[in-house]
Amino acid sequence: MTTPVEFDAMATALEPTGEYKIQRRLEPRRAVVPAEGTATRLDLMVDVETTGLDAARNEIIELAMVPFTYGLDGKVFRVGEAFTALRQPSENIPESITTITGITDQMVAGKVIDPADVEAFIAPAALVIAQNASFNRRFLERFCAGFVTKSWACSMTQIA
**pLDDT tens digit sequence for 6-34:** 888 888 888 888 888 777 776 777 888 88
From the number of C-beta atoms within 10 Å of its C-beta (0-12, 13-18, 19+), residue 136 rates as buried
Q: In whole angstroms, what is the distance from residue 132 CA to residue 97 CA?
A: 17
Q: Residue 36's pLDDT is what?
A: 93
Tell me if 66 sits within 8 A of 82, measured CB to CB. yes
Q: What is the mean pLDDT of residues 99-103?
A: 95
Domains of the chain: 38-154 (3.30.420.10)
Asked if pLDDT for residue 150 goes beyond 80, the answer is yes
Say what the pTM is: 0.80
Neighbours of 8 (CB within 10 A): 12
Please give the residue that has the higher pLDDT: either 65 or 29: 65
Q: 64 with 46: CB under 8 angstroms?
A: yes
